Chain A
Amino acid sequence: MSRLSGHGSSITVATLSAAFGVALLQVTGFLGALVSQDPAAGRSGSTLPLMLSILALVFIAISIYVGAIVTANTFSTIVAGRARTIALLRLIGDSAASQRRAIAREGLLVGIIGAALGVVIGTGFAIALDRVAVATDTIPDIDYSAGWLNPAVLIPLVAVVLTTWAASWIGSRRVLTVTPLQAIGGAQEAGREELVRRPARTVVAIVLFALGTGILLLGVAVGLVSPFGVLIGIFGGILSFSGLIAGAHLVMPPALRVVGRLFGSAPTARLAAENALRYPERSSRTTIGVVIGVTLITMFGVAIASFSDMIHAAQSASPEVYAGTDTVLTAIQAVFSVLVGFSALIAAVGLVNNLSLCVVQRTRELGLLRALGFSVRQLRTMITVESAQLTATAVLVGLVLGAFYGWCGAQSLLGSINGSPGIIVPDIPWVLLGVIVVAAAALTWVASLAPARRATRVAPVTALAVD
C-alpha cells in the first residue's frame, strides 16, 4: 500500500495508544470481576471498579492526547517533504483542499489500522497477564470473561481513530501554503519557518497559565488548614499545565536556545543548535510530548516523596496512625510511573521519527556540508547533538515543572495533617531522576541512530545536483 508509505510511525503511535487503552480497561475489568467475587469487598464492590475505570480513562486520555500531538507533527513533516509533489499536482490543476482531504483520508486509514492492531495486541496482553497471574496463583481462577468483554474498550478505539484523523487534518494545514510555482521554481530553499503570530492562542495560554498557577498556589495555602486544598490545587494544576501546553510555542524555543548554548561553539554544535530551532513550531510540538510525560512522572515522584516526608514527620509525632503507609506509597508510585511512562514512550516514538524525517528533508544541505569539508564524523556528531538538544530540553523543562506540581500536590493535600511541619522543601526522588536521565540519554542515542546513518550516506555530489 503505497499510500501508507511514511506512515509507519503514525501507525505505531496509534497502535500503542489503542493497545494501551484496551489493555488498561481489560485489566481494570479483570480487577472489577475479581473484586465482585470477593465477599469481603462486597460493600465497596460497586464503587471500586468504577473508580478504577475513571482513573484508567484519565491515563488513556493522556496517552491519546500525546499520541495526537505526535501524529499532527508527523503529518506536518510529511507534508513538508511532499511539497514538491503537491506543487506538481497543484500545477496541473488539483486544488489545495482536495490535496488536504486526501492526506486526511490517509490519517483516517492510519487511525483505523492502528485501532485494529491495538485491540488485538492490547487484548492479547491483558489475557496473557490474566493467565500468568492465575498460573502463579496471584489471583484465583474464576471466570474473567465479564472483564475482557468490557464494552468500555470501544472508547479508546473510537478515540484513537478520531484523534488520528483530526491530527492528520491539523498537521496537513501546510498543504494550503504550497504554491504551484514550487514545482518549477529553482531549488531555492524557503526561508526559515517564522513563528506564526497567534495572538488569540498566546492570550489563552497566558491567561490559563496565570489563572491556573494562582489557583494552584491558593490550593497550597488552603492546604495548610484543610486537606481539601488538594481539590483546588488539582483544578489549578490542570489549568496551568494546559496553559503551558497551549503556549509551547512561547516556552520551548527559548528553552531550546538556552540548552543549545550548553553544547559549546564548535561548528557542529552551533549548526545543530540552529537546526533544532529552524522549525520552532515543529520543535515545540516534538518536545512537548516528552515534556508532558516527564512532568507527570516527576510530579508523581516528587509528590509521593514529599508526601512520605510529611507522613514521616507526622509519624514521629503519632506513630500508631500511619503504620504501613510506606509500602503502599512505593507501590502507587511504581504503578503511576509505568502508566504515565507510556505516554512518554509515545512521545519518544514521535521524537525519533521527527528527527529522521527532518534529516531526509535536508539531504541537499547535508551534501553541501560534505562538499565544504564536513567529515562523516562531524556530520554524525551534529545529528547526535541535535537529538540531545531536543531530549535534554524536554527533560529539563519536564523535571522543573514536575517538581513544582508534585510539591504543590503534596503540600496542598497534607499541609494540614496531624503533626505536619507546615511548608516543606520539595523532596526530589534522586533514583527516579536518575532513571529519567538515563532513559533520556538512551532516547537521544536511539533517535540519532537512523538519521545519522542516513546523513552519512549522503554523497557530497547531491549538493550540486540542480534538482
Chain B
Amino acid sequence: MEITTTDMGLVARVQNLTKSYGRAAGEVVALRDVTLGIRRGEFTAIMGPSGSGKSTLMHIMAGLDSPTGGRVWLGDAEMGAMGDSQLTLLRRRRVGFVFQSFNLVPTLDVAGNILLPFELDGRRPTDQEQAWIAQLQQALGLESRLRHRPHELSGGQQQRVAIARALATRPELVFADEPTGNLDSRTGREVLGLLSTASREYGQSIAMVTHDPVAASYADRILFLADGIVVDDRPRQSAEEISRTMLAMESAA
C-alpha cells in the first residue's frame, strides 16, 4: 500500500513534478523533477530568485495551473485526476490565498470579502465558524472597518482582510504569494508576524513564496529553489543567513 501524504505528516506534496512552457526550440522549463512536501502546521517559505520556478510551483500546488509531468497531492487527494469543477471546490474549501496585490473583491466591503468563501458554498458560517471569524477580526484589528470597501483601506489593512479571508474557512493550506511585495517594510513585518502567529497559535499550515530574505526569516522552514530544482531545505534561519545562502547560490550558478 502506498504511504499517504497524511502518514508523512504532510499537508501537500509533489512528486517528480515537471513543468515546461512552449515547445521544442522555444521550450522553457520552469520546474525539473521536483519532489517535496509541505509539513502540516508549519509556516514554510519557498525562496528563490526570479525565474527560479517558485511561483509556478505554488500555482500548481494550489490547483491554479496543471503540471507537465509528475504528481500533486493536497492532503490525500491527488489533484492530477481532478477536473475544473473539483479544483474549484478544492480552492473554495481547502485552500486559502493571500496575493501580492489585488487581493480583495473591490465591490464588496470587508465583511463581504471575509465571508465570500462561505457564500460561494451557498451557506452561512456555523456558530463555531462565526466565533472564529470574530476572533480573527479582532486579532487582525478589523472590527471597526467591516463596512469599509477595499479602496478605503491602506495596503496593510487590505492585506489583513485578505489574511482573515484566507484563514476564515480554516483551510488545510494557505498559499501566500509575495504577501509583502506591495507593502512598506514596517507594515510588511506586521503582516509576516500575523502569518507566523496564525501558524504557531492556530496550527495553520502556510506556504509562502518570496524572494525577500527578511520575509523568509519568519518561516519555520525554508525551501530554496533555483532554475526549477530544490537546492536546499533549511529550518528557521535569520535574514542574514538566508541572504548568505542566496548569495552562495548565485555564485555557484
Q: Do A and B come from one complex?
A: yes
A373 touches B59 (CB 8 A): no
**A90 on the B face (CB < 8 A):** no
Give a binary string over A430-467; 1 marks a CB under 8 Å from any B CB, 0 the rest.
00000000000000000000000000000111011010
Q: Shortest distance in angstroms between A87's beta carbon and chain B's nearest beta carbon? A: 17
Report B-chain residues with C-beta under 8 Å of the C-beta of A370. 88, 91
Q: Report Cα–Cα, A463/B59, bound state, in Å.
A: 11
**B149 on the A face (CB < 8 A):** yes
Report B-chain residues with C-beta under 8 Å of the C-beta of A459. 64-65
**Total chain B interface residues with beta-carbon distance under 8 A:** 39
State which of A188, A378, A464 has its C-beta within 8 Å of the C-beta of B64. Answer: A464
A278 touches B99 (CB 8 A): no
Q: Report Cα–Cα, A360/B115, bound state, in Å.
A: 26
A191 touches B151 (CB 8 A): yes
Give a binary string over A90-123; 1 marks a CB under 8 Å from any B CB, 0 the rest.
0000000000000000000000000000000000
Give a binary string over B141-183; 1 marks a CB under 8 Å from any A CB, 0 the rest.
0000000011110010000000001000000000001100110
Report A-chain residues with C-beta under 8 Å of the C-beta of B62. 371
B107 touches A460 (CB 8 A): no
A192 touches B102 (CB 8 A): no
A365 touches B106 (CB 8 A): yes
| Nearest CB in chain A to that of B85: its residue | A375
B122 touches A266 (CB 8 A): yes
Report A-chain residues with C-beta under 8 Å of the C-beta of B99. 368, 463-464
| Nearest CB in chain A to that of B104: its residue | A368
**B82 on the A face (CB < 8 A):** no
A267-B102 contact, Cβ under 8 Å, with A460-B64, A461-B64:
no
A372-B97 contact, Cβ under 8 Å, with A189-B106, A271-B107, A464-B64:
yes
State which of A278, A371, A463, A466 has its C-beta within 8 Å of the C-beta of B106. Answer: A278
A278-B107 contact, Cβ under 8 Å, with A189-B102, A189-B151, A460-B64:
yes
Report A-chain residues with C-beta under 8 Å of the C-beta of B65. 459, 461
A373-B182 contact, Cβ under 8 Å, with A365-B106, A463-B102:
no
Chain A residues in contact with chain B, CB under 8 A?
186-192, 266-267, 270-271, 274-275, 278, 364-365, 368-376, 378, 459-461, 463-464, 466
Q: Can you list 25 A-B pairs with a CB-CB distance of less than 8 A?
A: A188-B102, A189-B151, A191-B152, A192-B151, A271-B108, A364-B102, A368-B105, A371-B62, A371-B64, A371-B97, A372-B91, A372-B120, A372-B165, A373-B121, A374-B88, A374-B92, A374-B120, A375-B89, A376-B88, A460-B64, A461-B59, A464-B55, A464-B97, A464-B99, A466-B100
Chain B residues in contact with chain A, CB under 8 A?
55, 59, 62, 64-65, 84-85, 88-89, 91-93, 97, 99-103, 105-108, 112, 116-117, 119-122, 149-152, 155, 165, 177-178, 181-182
List 7 extra interface pairs beyond A374-B88, A376-B84, CB under 8 A.
Answer: A271-B105, A365-B106, A372-B117, A372-B120, A374-B120, A460-B91, A466-B101
